[in-house]
Amino acid sequence: MTYVLFGQMSDPNIAAVRQYFDVFVDQEANLTWDLETDTLSVDGEPLKMTAFFGRANVFAENTHQKYNNWHLFVNYLACHPDIRRYNRRYDRETPTKARNLYLAKTVGLPIPKTIIGRGPMDGDCVVKPLTGGSHCVADNEARYTAIVQERIRGMNRRLFLVGKQHAGFKLHTTMLDYRDDPNTRLEVEHFDDDTVMRVRAVAKKLGLTYCAADFMDDTFLEVNSGPMFAAFDRTVNGALGRAIRDEL
């Protein structure tokens, strides 16, 4: 069996799991997929794989080569359902943050009061991009269609689902968006079985087998299909990285 890791070592998340994979394919390598023979090669060498885990590198400048190599793998994996990978039934190219909130509500998870639009919405609110990427900001009106949401004050919490395993964390921060805080401190957190079950129900509806759900106290905020995990992995001494490999 051959377990393939795809990405770049300048991505700390890829570096964190490199030791668990048999083959590493750099995102900027010379990749070729010959459709006539259905042969995938890396720098001229044929590549066979049993399982795959990869991340597009967001820590370095994107290039046409890296962007198109990522989509080569997306297409190749879609045509080879025998290769084990996470989130096979999830289309990452279609952001579904609004749908995620709706599904969370249907399975009984509390969500903030939310509108999808420009607003304004009364009260203490935040604005988030509907398609992801940008950070959360304090405002009750967006410049263009976005997620406008009541602001929930409390403890940032994150629940990772990795196959049948899960891991929870607290994120201690003084910032609205913890990604803006270089001093964010992580701590292992226990999520009750009922919450884990409901998040798994959302993940199942979305086709996710690997994801991270964000909460403010017990209020569900969103689920991420390709979460960064390196800092969380260090907090649990590599347990997340090992789970990513073992659950494939």
12-26, 62-76, 155-169: which range is least confident on average? 62-76
Classify burial at 134, counting beta carbons within 10 Å of its beta carbon; exposed 0-12, middle 13-18, buried 19 or more. exposed
In the predicted structure, residue 46 carries a pLDDT above the cut 70: yes
218 within a domain of the structure (yes/no): yes
Most confidently modeled of 29-38, 115-124, 161-170? 161-170
In angstroms, what is the C-alpha Rg of the chain? Answer: 19
Residue 6, pLDDT > 90, answer yes
Count of the separate structural domains present in the chain: 3
| 183-192, Cβ contacts within 8 angstroms, sequence gap of 24 or more | 186/231, 186/232, 186/235, 187/235, 188/235, 188/236, 189/157, 191/157, 191/159, 191/166
Whole-number Å distance between alpha carbons of 121 and 139 = 9
Average pLDDT value for residue range 46-70: 94
- Predicted confidence at residue 94, as pLDDT, reads 61
Same domain, 167 and 240: yes
Has residue 207 been placed in a domain?
Answer: yes
Closest residue by Cα to residue 123 from 144, 101, 138, 136: 138
Instruction: Tell whether pTM > 0.85.
Output: yes
Task: Note the pLDDT tens digit of each residue in 130-159.
Answer: 876 677 889 999 888 888 999 999 999 999
Q: Does residue 208 form part of some domain?
A: yes
pLDDT tens per residue, range 213-222: 999 999 999 9
pLDDT at 223: 93
What pLDDT score does 144 carry?
Answer: 84
What is the rounded distance in angstroms from the CA atom of residue 110 to the CA atom of residue 219? 5
Q: Which of 78, 101, 134 corresponds to the end of one domain? A: 78
Q: Are 90 and 225 in contact (CB under 8 A)?
A: yes
126 and 180 fall within a common domain = no
Give the model's pLDDT for residue 136. Answer: 85
Q: Which domain holds residue 65?
A: 3-78
- Amino acid making up residue 147: I
pLDDT score recorded for residue 177: 82
8 A C-beta contact, residue 240 and residue 233 = yes
Q: What is the pLDDT of residues 173-210, one digit of tens each?
A: 888 788 888 889 999 999 999 999 999 999 999 999 99
Asked if 206 and 189 sit in the same domain, the reply is yes
Q: How far apart are CA 239 and CA 234, in angstroms?
A: 8
Instruction: With respect to residue 97, please indicate whether it lies within any of the assigned structural domains.
Output: no
The mean per-residue pLDDT over the stretch 5-23 comes to 97
Q: Count of CB atoms within 10 A of residue 16's CB?
A: 20
Residue 170 has pLDDT above 70, yes or no: yes
| 73-127 pLDDT per residue, tens | 988 999 999 999 999 988 765 677 888 999 999 999 999 999 888 889 899 999 9
